[in-house]
Amino acid sequence: MTMATTPLFAQAVIIPLLSILSILFSIAPLILHWGNRNFPATFLVCWFLCLNFFNVINALIWPNDDMDTWWSGVGLCDVEVKVMIASYVAVPGCLLCIFRNLACVLDTRRAILIPTKQQRWWNRGMDLLFCVVVPILAMITQIIYQANRYLLFGISGCVNSFDESWASLILAWIWPLVICLMGGYYCGLVLHRIHKYRSQFGDILRSSNSNYNKSRFMRLFFLSFIMLLAIIPVQIFVVYKNIKLSLPWHSYSWSVAHGPHWNNIKKIPSQREVFFDRWFPIVSGIMFFIFFGCGRDATKMYRSILRSLHLECCFARSHTSSSDTSRSSTPGSMNSRVRLLLHKTWYYTPRTQADNSASMSAANKSFEDREKGIVSSPAPQREQSASWLETPWSHFSRSFASSGRDRIPSVLDLSILSSTVSSTAWAASSQSRGSNGFSVMSGSEGFIRVKRDISQETETRR
């Protein structure tokens, strides 16, 4: 039987094409996560890149069920089965680290502005433990329950072989599910803290020592959340199916598991179907692109690539408009500083005098009188229960209490000349993380208090 007489299966063409497309889609998210020092997400993309690469190679080498012409796969499959065993625990471990990092960002009780060297190494160690060290341990311990060197399937290629004993359950099948459940705990913790701090969510992210903003945080969370929802049921099904197919178990013996048959490579036809787990890397690469390949950070990267290729004319107009927008929203720009200073609404209350009410209209009409300091106060816009001089501190407390979060401050009447403007500001050692601006709190520490007194004195010259 020759290759010409053996039909080429449709999935042998679809799987490598989709895997190549998934690899291309994963490049931009990989660069972005690496640039943001988000190592768990970077490792997650790398593991799926390896699995997609294996999909391409296996479908090209074993595209049909002509087992007589199959290559034995010695060397290649020895590496593939080790990497696949590692990926079974690496993918849940990466999701666990992602949810753990997101939960730490929202942990206001242990929030720190600048982590110490020991804390940085601890966080990196936890990421390396579940993303690298545990997968390597899974690769090493595979030899204990490896019933055969590997199995060969059509289209799917290299497949792991497990010993039908309790060792396979304890060392292989159960750990991916356990790590997924640990990731589910941190996922629930993130959901709880998002709901708890929903009104202060943006302030917490800005004050945290991380590279997350609202968009990046939520995109990473939803991506990991969807993956976790898909992986947990699959892992439960895999554990159940493997236990059912391997029963009744025999007592574990090294000599039995690694007997003379261990080097025999079993070849099994695919029956035009591939293993269901070959589709997960493909779908994951597409999801990476949907969540991180179409965002603002990815757009900037695409523009820089086009700029390096001297294709600025393709996006000159959009680049100019976006540059103007970014300049206006830069934290160091004048507009942003003004918005920050005027984040709270400051109410202006003119000082009224009872003895000059009869001459207000006449003083406003004379420019000569203005130059001499004769300026009349406009009519107040809202009723006040007490004058400025009688209750100055109550005026400030009412102004701060009634100011809204996102309201635009009212513009003072520019036709009125202020004869006296004074401001006083003082700060403590740190700012409260949960505050949304500046507030006046007596008898407390860790805040910033700003007092602004704007007084206008008017005199009527008789």
Q: For 255-269, how does the pLDDT look when each residue is reduced to its tens digit (9 = 90+)?
A: 888 888 888 888 998
Range of the domain at 226: 17-313
Which tokens in the block code for residue 288?
A: 């990476």
For the four alpha carbons of 125, 131, 136 and 137, in that order, the dihedral sign comes to positive
Confidence of residue 228 (pLDDT cuts 50, 70, 90): very high
Residue 23 lies in a domain: yes
pLDDT tens digits along 37-80: 899 999 999 999 999 999 999 999 999 888 888 998 999 999 99
**33 found inside a domain:** yes
* Cα–Cα dist 360/369, whole Å: 12
Residue pair 76/160 in contact (Cβ under 8 Å)? The answer is no
Residue 67 lies in a domain: yes
pLDDT value at 319 more than 80: no
Torsion of the alpha carbons at 190, 193, 195 and 200, rounded to the nearest 10? -120
Rg (CA), the chain: 34
For the ranges 102-106, 359-363, 440-444, the lowest mean pLDDT is seen at 440-444
What is the CA angle 343-349-355, rounded to 5?
Answer: 170
pLDDT digits (tens, 9 = 90+) for 324-357: 444 444 444 444 444 444 444 333 344 444 444 4
Among 87-101, 218-232, 296-310, 438-452, whose mean pLDDT is lowest?
A: 438-452
What is the CATH number for 102? Answer: 1.20.1070.10
Contact 12, 275 (CB under 8 A): no
Whether residue 2 is contained in a domain is answered as: no
How confident is the model at residue 29, as a pLDDT?
93
State pLDDT tens for residues 139-170. Answer: 999 999 998 899 999 999 999 999 988 999 99
pLDDT band at 312 (very low <50, low <70, confident <90, very high): low
In a domain, 366, yes or no: no
Residue 291 in any domain: the answer is yes
pLDDT band at 133 (very low <50, low <70, confident <90, very high): very high
Instruction: Name 328's Cβ contacts closer than 8 Å, sequence gap at least 6.
Output: 335, 336
pTM, full prediction: 0.67
Residue 400 parent element (H or E): helix 392-402
307-311 average pLDDT score:
78
Determine phi and psi for 57, rounding to 5 degrees. -65, -45
Domain count, the chain: 1
Most confident of the ranges 2-11, 253-262, 272-281, 433-442: 272-281
| d(C-alpha 165, C-alpha 254), whole Å | 11
Which residue in 148, 318, 173, 322 sits closest to 234, CA to CA?
173
Would 418 be classed as within a structural domain? Answer: no
Inside any domain, residue 251: yes
Residues 231 and 31: beta-carbon distance below 8 Å: no
